[in-house]
Structure 1
Amino acid sequence: MTAETLSGSTGFDHNSMLRENTVSMRDQGTDEVSRRLLESSARLSRNAMTEIDWSLPMDPTKYGGSPEWSTLYGTAYWDELSEEQRISVTRHEFASIMNIGIWFEMILQEMVIRDQYLGGYHSPEFQFALTEIADECRHSIMFAKASEKMVGTSYKPSTKVGRLGKFFKMTAKNEIAYAGILVAEEVLDVFQRGCMRDERVLPFIRTVNEIHVLEESRHMKFAREEVRESMQGVGGLRRQFSALYISMGAFFIVSSLVRPQAYSDAGLDVDRAVREARGNTHFQSMIRSSCAHLMEFLDEVGLLTRPAMHYYRKVHML
């Protein structure tokens, strides 16, 4: 996929994002990285509330996400579905993914605010952290509007996972908080990159994906730098604990992305859909290959331990 195909009338500046991605962070501190990201935010930030005409009717022939990214694509059940059913299930699946994204973005905001409490208000790190929080608020509203328009249904994690999320946001700090943020954002980014320029997908969903991918590229760079800084001089015991805690968080996030209710709302047999989705080797391969860069980073900073790998493998991230 070329830079030209990713640049379009919506104003998505993929070349600028590529330039940012190619700048090495190894020789830069958090403040220098944050300064660059603040400048990028000022130039490239977008607002879905004004950019998208939410009143336009939806094309009934358009998917909610690329069919290949459906959890059922490649299964016998998918082959049995009509085109109308396939469109419906992708819309409900992607609405579920966006809603779980809202849930984690709320956790993210609380962790970042706590980390920056009584920080250096004059510093680029503090100022970009608040910029990120503002971005996440806009993203959550954008996801809420998009899912409302597409399916009119809210999806939430299970009660158990919701409670675990509360515990995570109260206890995670330093590399656990920022690597947890990175893992969640990278996984959501995987889905959205796969769908954002697919003309089979609803136009307003493609715009939502473009906005989120562009702005999350800054957030992920910030999180990587925070993780690198936090891991400097960390002892073996803390490294092992942090790696395991992060991987367990990743397991609960990824396994919650598509709620069983989404299949029910799409008119499918829930038990069969869940069973076939869990055994879908095509989807598992898509997730695994797309998370390769994330796994390389976690390995680089010492957070891909053997116990952690167990949990990543359970959700096919490794």
Structure 2
Amino acid sequence: MTSSVTGTRPLRDALGLLKDREQVAERLLESSAKHSFDPDTELDWDAPLEEGKWFWPPELLSLYDTRMWRQMSEEQRLELSRHESAALASLGIWFEIILMQLLCRHIYDKSVTSAHTRYALTEIADECRHSKMFARMIQKSGSPTYPVTRLHHNLARVLKTLSTTPGSFACTLLGEEILDWMQRLTFPDERVQPLVRGVTRIHVVEEARHVRYAREELRRQMVTSPRWERRLTRISSGEAARVFSIAFVNPQVYTNVGLDRREAMAQVKASAHRREVMQTGAKRLTDFFDDIGVLQGVGRRMWRSSGLLP
């Protein structure tokens, strides 16, 4: 009798997790039907940019409160915001293309009629619109695009090919939650260009669903995955945190604004304000990762070395 009960409990647990997964997906699908946007018609792309407005809140710019920042003119600071906004949008596009491929991998072997799969396809459609929206914003601002380094570009190829399911969702949250925190400060900020505020508002509303989907799935995966996969997720997320924290600042921005690239990078690295911004932006995520067992062992040390965890 004991053997029979023991044998059926894992099955009941698995069925419960699947039911929960479907319920979450159904709620997210309902939300998507009510609160989705078409940026091409929702935003006024023909309106001229406003003179003297920021393209990103100044406190979130990499050089804010450094010696170099204090020596810059207001015009140069505004120009820095234009280029950093374009660099972050470029980073967002790169990341969303990776995410779309990871989501396609995730659902490849799953039931095509499940709510979980239907929501993944809905999210992929959202990310397509977001990538086009970010690209159009860069174009409208008159800034160049800022691709990541060739090394990081190729490291992402490895991630897309070899990442485990929990590793994929951990990386998804890393890419989404810090930018989401910054955008939540951006869209209500009247100092910022109306177009940028509109773009970030749409992204925040729709990204909230993506974060919920990834969090719930990662929580399930950290319970059901084999031990080796959970260990690998801790390490891969730590490495992803290191790469992401580096990619968050594109040195070419400083050159294009007329600053000494090497000196600017040194001041950003030494900036207590910048460190606080990045750690505050990551705190909700690192608290969640700590709660579900991602920040353990060598993975935690890697997160600390990235500068995103105190």
Asked if Structure 1 and Structure 2 have the same fold, meaning a TM-score greater than 0.5 normalized by the shorter chain, the answer is: yes
Structure 1 CA distance for aligned equivalents of residues 71 and 270 of structure 2: 17
Of Structure 1 and Structure 2, the greater helix share is in 2
Contact 1:93 1:263 in 2 (8 A): no
Structure 2 CA distance for aligned equivalents of residues 28 and 227 of structure 1: 16
Aligned partner of 1:80 in structure 2 is: 71
Contact 1:157 1:259 in 2 (8 A): yes
Among candidates 238, 253, 277, match of residue 262 of structure 1 = 253
Question: SS at 1:255's partner residue?
Answer: helix
Q: Which amino acid aligns with 1:172?
A: S
Question: SS at 1:155's partner residue?
Answer: coil
CA deviation map 1:208-254 (0-9, x unaligned):
11111111110010001111121124454432221111121122122
Structure 2 CA distance for aligned equivalents of residues 234 and 40 of structure 1: 29
Question: SS at 2:247's partner residue?
Answer: coil
Aligned partner of 1:20 in structure 2 is: none
Please list every run of 5 or more consecutive structure 2 residues that lacks an aligned counterpart in the other structure.
1-16
Structure 1 CA distance for aligned equivalents of residues 301 and 145 of structure 2: 31
Aligned partner of 2:83 in structure 1 is: 92
User: In the TM superposition, what is the alpha-carbon distance from 1:94 to its structure 2 partner?
Assistant: 1.4
Higher mean C-alpha deviation, range 135-144 or range 227-236: 227-236
Contact 2:58 2:81 in 1 (8 A): yes
Aligned partner of 2:275 in structure 1 is: 284
Question: SS at 1:29's partner residue?
Answer: helix
Among candidates 119, 122, 126, match of residue 128 of structure 1 = 119
Aligned partner of 1:201 in structure 2 is: 192
Aligned partner of 1:182 in structure 2 is: 173
Q: Which amino acid aligns with 2:250?
A: R
Contact 2:174 2:285 in 1 (8 A): yes
Contact 1:92 1:151 in 2 (8 A): no
Aligned partner of 2:215 in structure 1 is: 224
Contact 1:183 1:250 in 2 (8 A): yes
Structure 2 CA distance for aligned equivalents of residues 104 and 116 of structure 1: 19
Q: How does 1:87-166 map to 2 (within 5 A)?
A: 87-166=78-157
TM-score normalised by structure 1 residue count: 0.88
Structure 1 CA distance for aligned equivalents of residues 142 and 247 of structure 2: 18
Higher mean C-alpha deviation, range 245-254 or range 75-84: 245-254
* Number of residue equivalences: 293
Contact 2:54 2:192 in 1 (8 A): yes
Please list every run of 5 or more consecutive structure 1 residues that lacks an aligned counterpart in the other structure.
1-25
Structure 1 CA distance for aligned equivalents of residues 150 and 224 of structure 2: 37
- Answering whether residue 160 of structure 2 is matched by residue 173 of structure 1, we say no
- Answering whether residue 290 of structure 2 is matched by residue 299 of structure 1, we say yes
Higher-Rg member (1/2): 2
TM-score normalised by structure 2 residue count: 0.91
Q: How does 1:38-49 map to 2 (within 5 A)?
A: 38-49=29-40
Structure 2 CA distance for aligned equivalents of residues 118 and 38 of structure 1: 20
CA-based RMSD of the aligned residues comes to 1.6
Contact 1:64 1:205 in 2 (8 A): yes
Among candidates 46, 63, 76, match of residue 55 of structure 1 = 46
Question: SS at 1:232's partner residue?
Answer: helix
Structure 2 CA distance for aligned equivalents of residues 152 and 91 of structure 1: 7
Contact 1:78 1:86 in 2 (8 A): yes
Distance 1:287 1:27, change over 3 A: farther
- Answering whether residue 232 of structure 2 is matched by residue 241 of structure 1, we say yes
Aligned partner of 1:12 in structure 2 is: none
Structure 2 CA distance for aligned equivalents of residues 211 and 43 of structure 1: 13
CA deviation map 1:148-167 (0-9, x unaligned):
11133111110111110111
